[in-house]
Amino acid sequence: MGLRTDYLREVKAFQPSPPYAANAVKAFLVGGALCALAQWLVDWYGGTFAASPLEAHLWASMVMAGLAIVLTAVGKYDDFSQFAGAGATMLITGLANAIASAAIEHRSEGWTAGVAGQMLKAGGAAVIYGLIAAYVLGLVWP
């Protein structure tokens, strides 16, 4: 047995596998903390500002997204995601980061072809499938 007999199989011994358990724990804790923060914002808008539940959710989402955009702009969100993994990418903060990072990246090609044209490059799939999923769920639970 050796690499030369079956490279695709034998090479796996040389490839460090991702720390799945540690990644899952980190994603759970960080993602959970972000969700708890967002929930606190919802309650705060609902309580202090007497916002309706819909308005409170919208405000909380916007604040979380805004936070992610600021962290993206100062170049910290990618480091945060490297640590938190899915805990950072699966939330609305991840979507905000995907759109903002593409917009920043393509600023050098101008506002139209660059920023606007490329903005959804990384986040477009989440937007499209998010819309489809929302539509389907809307049919199931009218």
Partner 1 sequence: MKRVGKQTWVFDDGVYIQAAAAAVGPLEADGPLGRYFDVCHRDLYCGEKTWELAERRLMREAVDCCLQKAGVSAEEVDLFLAGDLLNQSATSNYVARELPIPFLCLFGACSTSMQTLAAAAALVAGGLADRALVATSSHNATAERQFRYPTELGVQKPKTATFTVTGAGAALVGRTPGRWRLRAATIGKVIDAGLKNPLDMGAAMAPAAADTIEQHFRDLGVSPGDYDLIVTGDLSRVGSVIVRELLAESGYDVTDVYNDCGLMIYRPDQKVFAGGSGCACSAVVTYGYLLQELARGTFRRLFVVATGALLSQTMVQQKQSIPAIAHGVVIEAAGQESDLPP
List contacts with partner 1 (CB under 8 A): 2-4, 7-8, 11, 14-16, 18, 23, 72-73, 75, 77-78, 80-82, 84-86, 88-89, 94, 97-98, 100-102, 104-106, 108, 121-122
Q: Could you tell me if 107 and 119 are in contact, meaning their C-beta atoms sit under 8 angstroms apart?
A: no
Q: Which of 103, 28, 94 is nearest to 64 (CA)?
A: 94
Distance CA 124, CA 136 (A): 18
- Identity of the residue, 1 or 140, whose beta carbon is nearer to partner 1 in the bound complex: 1
- Residue 15, φ and ψ in degrees, nearest 5: -95, 115
Closest separation in Å from C-beta 40 to partner 1: 23
Closest separation in Å from C-beta 71 to partner 1: 9
Query: Which residues does 94 contact at the CB level (< 8 Å), separation at least 6?
Result: 68, 81, 88, 126
Closest separation in Å from C-beta 7 to partner 1: 5
Closest separation in Å from C-beta 56 to partner 1: 26
